[in-house]
Structure 1
């Protein structure tokens, strides 16, 4: 049986980074369930060679770790197309606007603006490392975001647009989230406005070769310490205090274990002795969002001829937001749309052809009949992915932060927790995944050096 210092579960960007931070000082092994690295980051290549992210893809200002990683790995970024007019498609009519907030009737606009201002002011008062410590945390954690929206938006249109923003950021419904979690999430990424924005916001830049390409470069540096097709099945404490990790096809012994997989996947692993009841209860209360990412390829980005950016907001759905996802330097035009929350849950159970038609019908409503006839189409239902079962990230419902959140990042003996769901900065983003990897690696290094298990 292989004996190592550190085992890492999950070869997503967080697990790979944790291993990179530890590999020069300790023996490390990554166990990945899939036959690929990247986790929730995944590339798709169209027939003409265009590469597109069908998982996480964007980085923006404030995500300094990600920009450093891109530079370190010799990759490059380019801005998402953000020129021309955006569209609000409402009651069968298309209205052009610029910026993040659609141009709507003055009453609804003032209503939405005031609600956004209140939300941002509340979020600014939170410490994202300790959201449960705010003096109003218990009150905010006791209600859903939907309750808050209904109380703070007087017009139906403002409520609709706020809900679309929630879907775009969380891939969930306002009913799913506690108000405290929504405030924390926004604060962890600076502000809700930044999370929604393109230029100057979280959707500003893309990475040449795709984000999964970064993971492939990281894995190449790690070499044979990355083991694919090896889902962990059981983690057992041995008599000498080490951990035995049984996985498909083998087992290993390690001094420390970093779990860098989504909470719903960690629940599938048998622990002996069992994890503390609070940890199990916490992970049960962290369901993943629901998202289907859809991309259509056309001969060229014809919507630009009409000075349109490709960005659309549409309460009618099922595609409620879209973007021009064309690859820089390529001729093809790529339209990308999201199915999120309840819509994603519905279309997850629909035949692929029917789902494709529903998406293209939306694109045609946004950009005309040409959008109904792409050269190629691809979508990715992350809720049906067996090793993910949801995207973008886990969320916390009412009562969870104040009951369990203080111990979210706490190690359980020799078991440490990474992944974007344990981040205090940019929770739910690749930046958060890297931040959590740094923390977990630091915890492990301190403990191993204290124990004298140093392998140079």
Structure 2
């Protein structure tokens, strides 16, 4: 498999709350001096908390309950009365990562998000998380793995419906298959655990824990143009605006493609608003928002495609599950515990690499090692 560097040559675009458009380079948006100072100060506080609490067992920290019972929105405003700074910090974790309003998850969950990448600084560093892409897209990774494993191992269109289990093993049933095994790995997000029926039922703790997790909401938009016109204008295609409908936009042009592709996202309550519109009105509003970053040429793509993860049966949201207020310190200690022969492995319950491919790989390796050591 090959990878290539994400395009980042040229200047980025920042849209201030009043709509003012500014060009900049580097990681930090060109906000007013007082806003910039507050952003850097709050970022340092988050970096310190991430280092102190860590990603592995955040619920064991003495501040865990305190941070888990206050929303990230309110915690930010306890740190600063500079609203623009709070919103700019919030965009990276609320809109950009957890795809929920900042009032819907805890400060501890936000610290975990930061710690999973190292410090918070890495979340805003486009050379750390968004540095490389896979030729052929991420789906080519799954397809390559499936091809190497073979059709006798990977069974498509066979969602698991029923698991009968005891301490010695389990029988797993789909509509067309029945498999008996000593070990079972549930490699789906926690919001889908309940789509399977279990005999005997999952323990009470599991039932409660899974009800306290949910995914966020995002509309992912790809807009394809005859050429990457923004590059010709000296722009990278990257843009941020905490008050914009599309809070972020990136150059997502495919490898060796002469056309240009932009990817953008509409999240949480803004996505709610968009889904109340007709398809054409929603498209017009989203393209208008992208044009605020890159000009009127963005209004006329040759291809426009929306990914609605919440309507897909086997995701029902994006990008990963997280606990509601108070849930992380209450249930986090038990989220990796096996139930009989069943183990859980997904990026939603990862420490390092939480809700990213890296976290999924780490969880797969962790559970495989546990099984081999039995």
Question: Deviation of residue 164 (structure 1)?
Answer: 1.6
Instruction: Give yes or no for the alignment of 1:402 onto 2:332.
Output: no
Question: Per-residue CA shift, 1:9-48, capped at 9, x if unaligned?
Answer: xxxxxxxxxxxxxxxxxxxxxxxxxxxxxxxxxxxxxxxx
Please list, as runs of the form range in 1=range in 2, the aligned pairs for 1:318-357 lying within 5 A after superposition: 318-357=245-284
Instruction: Give yes or no for the alignment of 1:212 onto 2:139.
Output: yes
Q: Residue 181 of structure 1 is aligned with which of 80, 103, 109? A: 109
Instruction: Give yes or no for the alignment of 1:362 onto 2:289.
Output: yes
Partner-residue secondary structure (3-state), 1:416: strand
2-structure distance, mates of 1:221, 1:165: 37
Mark the CA change 1:92 to 1:402 in structure 2 (over 3 Å): closer, same or farther.
Answer: closer
Question: Deviation of residue 103 (structure 1)?
Answer: 0.7
Equivalent in the alignment of 1:314? 241
Relative to the length of structure 2, the TM-score reads 0.95
Question: Deviation of residue 283 (structure 1)?
Answer: 1.4
Question: Deviation of residue 348 (structure 1)?
Answer: 3.9
Relative to the length of structure 1, the TM-score reads 0.79
Question: Deviation of residue 315 (structure 1)?
Answer: 2.7
Partner-residue secondary structure (3-state), 1:232: coil
Instruction: Give yes or no for the alignment of 1:378 onto 2:299.
Output: no
Question: Deviation of residue 402 (structure 1)?
Answer: 1.5
Partner-residue secondary structure (3-state), 2:322: coil
Equivalent in the alignment of 1:88? 14
Structure 2 residue runs without a partner (length 5+): none
Question: Per-residue CA shift, 1:217-268, capped at 9, x if unaligned?
Answer: 1001111211111111111126x94312221223222211100001111121
Equivalent in the alignment of 2:219? 292
Equivalent in the alignment of 1:11? none
Equivalent in the alignment of 1:226? 154
2-structure distance, mates of 1:339, 1:380: 11
Q: Is 1:416–1:444's contact at 8 Å kept on the other side of the alignment?
A: no
Instruction: Give yes or no for the alignment of 1:125 onto 2:125.
Output: no
Question: Deviation of residue 145 (structure 1)?
Answer: 0.8
Mark the CA change 1:350 to 1:203 in structure 2 (over 3 Å): closer, same or farther.
Answer: same
Instruction: Give yes or no for the alignment of 1:104 onto 2:31.
Output: yes
Question: Deviation of residue 318 (structure 1)?
Answer: 1.2
Question: Per-residue CA shift, 1:174-212, capped at 9, x if unaligned?
Answer: 11211111111211111222122212x101110101111
2-structure distance, mates of 1:394, 1:123: 20
1-structure distance, mates of 2:114, 2:41: 17
The Cα RMSD (Å) is 1.5
Question: Deviation of residue 417 (structure 1)?
Answer: 0.6
Equivalent in the alignment of 1:202? 129
2-structure distance, mates of 1:422, 1:444: 18
Instruction: Give yes or no for the alignment of 1:161 onto 2:88.
Output: yes
2-structure distance, mates of 1:348, 1:231: 28
Structure 1 residue runs without a partner (length 5+): 1-74, 448-456
1-structure distance, mates of 2:214, 2:275: 16
Equivalent in the alignment of 2:100? 172
2-structure distance, mates of 1:371, 1:406: 47
Mark the CA change 1:89 to 1:127 in structure 2 (over 3 Å): closer, same or farther.
Answer: closer
1-structure distance, mates of 2:121, 2:228: 27
Partner-residue secondary structure (3-state), 2:183: strand
Q: Is 2:165–2:341's contact at 8 Å kept on the other side of the alignment?
A: no
Q: Is 1:112–1:153's contact at 8 Å kept on the other side of the alignment?
A: no
Question: Deviation of residue 360 (structure 1)?
Answer: 0.8
Question: Deviation of residue 412 (structure 1)?
Answer: 0.8
Equivalent in the alignment of 1:35? none
Partner-residue secondary structure (3-state), 1:300: coil
2-structure distance, mates of 1:278, 1:345: 32
Question: Deviation of residue 352 (structure 1)?
Answer: 2.7
Q: Is 2:46–2:114's contact at 8 Å kept on the other side of the alignment?
A: no
Partner-residue secondary structure (3-state), 1:274: coil
Instruction: Give yes or no for the alignment of 1:412 onto 2:339.
Output: yes
For this pair of structures, how many residues does the alignment match?
371
1-structure distance, mates of 2:148, 2:332: 35
